[in-house]
Amino acid sequence: MRARLQTHATTDRLRPVLVWRAPKPFLCISSAPFGGGLALRSWIVNAEVPKAYDRVDLADHAAELKAELELAGDGVMLLTAASVERHTAADDGGVSVTATVGLTLPTWAAAPDGDVDGAEWVPSTVNIVAHVPVRLALSALVGAVGTVTEAKTQALVEAGVPGSGTASDAVAITCPADGPVEAFAGVRSTWGARLARAVHEAVTLGCR
C-alpha cells in the first residue's frame, strides 16, 4: 500500500497531505487522534496543519478531509506540523514505511513532571505509517507498535536527537485482514525485524 501526495484546503491555506487508499479494508492499529485503536480501515491520511492548529473537533475535520479527498469507508487521520512534502520512505522485505519527521520539541519518554506539558494535544511531530504485507495476529499488531517505537527511538538516538521522540508522535500499522496469520512482530521475528529496519531507515532519512 503506497502513499499518494495530494493537497487539502481544510486549514488556513492549501497544504500537502499523504493519502493511502486500499481496494478493500485492512486491519489497522493506530494511536492517531482520529480513527485510532484497532479496527478495519479503508484509508489513512497524514495531513500537514499549521503550528498554531487548535481544532478539537477532530471528527469534523476528518469528515472534511474525507469529503475533499473523495475517500470512502472508515479511515485514520494523522496530523502534523512537520513538512509533509519532505516525507521519507523505506522498504524491507515487503514491509513499507513512510515517515514525517519534525523534531522541534524532542523529549525523553521518562522525563520528570513539568518538563513537557502533556495535558493538551498538539499536531503529531513524528508520524509513522507502516504496512506489513501478511496478516498479523492481534497480539502481533500490538507488538508491532513496540517494534516501530524501538526502531524510531534507535534512529533518533543515533542521530544525536536529545530525546526518544516528541510528546505527540503517532503511528499507524496496517496489514491484510485475511490470510495465514503470523503470530509475532517483535524486533527479532521475521516480519518485526523487517519492520524495524524500514522504520529505522525512514526516520534516519527524516532526521537528516
Q: Is residue 115 part of a domain?
A: no
Question: Domain for residue 96, yes or no?
Answer: yes
Residues pairing with 19 in the sheet? 4, 45
Does 35 map to a domain?
yes
- The two beta strands, 170-175 and 15-30, are antiparallel
CATH of the domain at 162: 3.60.70.12
Report the percent of the chain where pLDDT is more than 70. Answer: 95
Q: Estimate to the nearest angstrom the gap between the alpha carbon of 92 and the chain centroid.
A: 17
Q: Residue 192 sits in which domain range?
A: 3-109+123-207
User: How far is 156 from 162, CA to CA, in rounded Å?
Assistant: 8
Which residues are bridge partners to 27 per DSSP? 40, 175
User: Is the residue at 116 inside a domain?
Assistant: no
**Total number of domains constituting the chain:** 1
Render pLDDT for 72-95 as a digit per residue (tens, 0 to 9): 999 999 999 999 999 999 999 999
Report pTM: 0.95
Judge whether 117 lies within some domain: no
Tell me if 118 is assigned to some domain.
no
HSE-CB at 132 with a 13 A cutoff on CA atoms is 37
Q: DSSP character for 208? A: -
Average pLDDT over residues 126-142: 98
Does any domain span residue 151?
yes
Which are the contacts of 153, defined by CB distance < 8 A and separation ≥ 6? 164, 165
Q: What is the mean pLDDT of the chain?
A: 94
Overall average pLDDT of the 93-107 stretch: 95
The β-bridge partners of 96 are 91, 131
